[in-house]
Each structure stands twice: as C-alpha cells, then as structure tokens.
Amino acid sequence: MVKDFIRRLKEKYIENQVNNTEIPKFSDSEIVNKNFKFSGKVQGVGFRFQFMLMAQELELVGWVKNLSDGRVEAEVQGPRNKIEFLVDSMKNKPIIRINNIEEKEQALNNKLKEFKAVY
C-alpha cells in the first residue's frame, strides 16, 4: 500500500516535470531513427517514464528500456530537431544524471507506430 502510494507520487512528480518543460515551435527537419544508450544515474529515477512521456509529447515513435548493465537504451524516430530536444531536455532533469550517451543513427523503421516503455 505504501509502495503503491510512493509509486503514484513519483509518477505524478514526473508528469509535472514533463508538463513544465517548455516545448519550442519546431521547423521542418529530416526524419531520422537513432539508437541511444544512456549511462549514469538513469535507472530507478523515472528516466524511462519521463523519456516516454516527453517523446509522446513531441510526437516521436520508438521505445525505451532498462538494460541489465544499468544503462537505458532507446530507439527514437522522428524529426532530427525534436530528437535532439528530447535528449537535451533529459540532461537537465532533477534526480537524473547522464554521464555518457552512445548514439547511433540507423535505418528508418516503418514498424514503429507509437512511443512506449519496454519492460
């Protein structure tokens, strides 16, 4: 019961963080697909949930998941400038500390239709 309350409180805090992020107006940009691996304090701090909500807000598609080695991996597809904004915004979130980002551009994936957290 207490764990559920804490989880809901944490989710509400994260939703507020995303809702308080000022999203700029974007110009047209090339559509790309990128794979990211984030390391640092990125697990147990709401990184996946926050990344997913922000990606959905930006109308990007893809997924985000925890890796067994403590990193978080994401595949993100959409306008390049929106993906850059997403990654930059994650660098400035309280609690989260990104030490390193591995980034790889890949072929577009037409199977991606939404953005979700993978468990």
User: Which are the catalytic amino acids?
Assistant: 48, 66
Q: Are 15 and 46 in contact (CB under 8 A)?
A: no
Q: Looking at the chain, how many residues does it have?
A: 119
Q: In what order do the strands lie in the sheet with 97-106?
A: 97-106, 31-41, 72-79, 61-66, 115-118
